[in-house]
Amino acid sequence: MNNQPILWEYRLQAEDSGQKYLSILLHKFHFSLKVLQHLKQGERVWVNGRFTYLTARGKEGELLSIQLFFDEEANIPGEDLPLDLLYEDEYILAVNKPVGQVVHPNHRYLTNTLGNAVIGYWERQGEHRLYRPIHRIDRNTSGVVVIAKNQFAHQQLAWQLERGQLHKRYYGFVQGVVRKKEGTIDNPIGLAPDSFIKRKVQPNGQPARTHFRVLHRYPNATFLEFILETGRTHQIRAHCEGLGHPLLGDDLYGGDPMLINRQALHSSVYAFLHPATGLPIVIRAPFPEDLRVLMKKLKFDIL
């Protein structure tokens, strides 16, 4: 899937007549100003097969064509690492991140990250791109991570994320028996005092909403489904601690590591609208083996 010009097309409707192409792209399709600036460089905008300017005004029935071509130098080094692909097209890449892998390089993890793996994969395909993950999950959380393959896709998905149109579903095992069948945790989260890592429910934190549903109750634990309305750092982990039901294995937040040596949390489903077609996309990551083993242990009340 080498870098080739990507053509985005739209047939103007009656309500578009008299509008500048710039205005249509900006307000109707939420193109960012940064992307529009790129479109001004070279002949990248056509109407009915002829070059035009973004400031020209459109007419009903015209075919507006945009060349989205982003051949970019990688911003991190690529490495030949395993990569569990869930979905890929010209705009997005979705992977199943394993436990123990960091999503993006940082001062503590310079290599062996998901970013290094993705760039290495693209380089082997002859592609030159920046690494643009739409969201991050913790090093010891497994599951779906979605990466934009160009600036346009990243901007479109970021716009959906800001407006709550990206839907993320997690599965996790918490300590103790959660009595409510379902509910919403609406507690702000901020950095815990005397910590650079841990988050804590506190009044002056950022707004955070987590919806949960009980899937199964064990004698001393509960299997839950989580749906995030916001995406704060460690949101599920901090909210579970605040409820008095920390995730199993999550020793940073008071979870018991006896049965599993990582937080028992999996990013299972990621649903959004495709950045180019607008059609629904649902990405699912299979349930990991270590959580299947945990499920069997809980059945026999080993806690």
Query: Taking the model in full, what pTM does it have?
Result: 0.83
Q: Please give the Cα distance from 159 to 153 (Å, whole number).
A: 10
Cα 294 from Cα 289, distance rounded (Å): 9
Average pLDDT for the chain: 90
Report d(CA 263, CA 202) in Å as an integer. 22
Q: Does the active-site annotation cover 138?
A: yes
Bridge partners (DSSP) of residue 131 are: none
pLDDT on residue 69: 63
164 phi, psi to nearest 5 deg: 70, 25
3-state secondary structure 127-183: CCCCCEECCCCCCCCEEEEEEECCHHHHHHHHHHHHCCCCEEEEEEEEECCCCCCEE
- 11 has pLDDT over 50: yes
Q: Where in the chain is the domain with CATH 3.10.290.10?
A: 6-68
Residue 283 scores a pLDDT above 90: yes
Secondary element (H or E) of residue 209: strand 209-217
Q: What is the pLDDT of residues 185-243, one digit of tens each?
A: 999 999 888 888 899 999 989 999 999 999 999 999 999 999 998 889 999 999 999 99
For 167-267+292-299, give the CATH class: alpha beta
CATH architecture of 6-68: Roll (3.10)
Q: Which among 234, 291, 261 has a CA at the least distance from the CA of 242?
A: 234
Largest Cα separation within the chain, whole Å, is 70
List the catalytic residue out of 16, 71, 89, 138: 138
Range from 29-43, 90-104, 171-185, 285-299 carrying the lowest mean pLDDT: 29-43
Rounded-to-integer distance, Cα 11 and Cα 48, Å = 10
Numbered ranges of CATH 3.30.2350.10 in the chain: 167-267+292-299
Residue 27 pLDDT class (50, 70, 90 cuts) = confident
Q: What is the pLDDT of residues 160-169, one digit of tens each?
A: 988 888 999 9
Q: Under 8 Å CB-to-CB from 61, ≥6 apart: which residues?
A: 11, 12
Q: Which residues of 56-70 are buried (b: 16+ CB within 10 A; e: fewer)?
A: eebeeebebbbebeb
What is the per-residue pLDDT for 302?
46
Retrieve residue 149's tokens: 């393959």
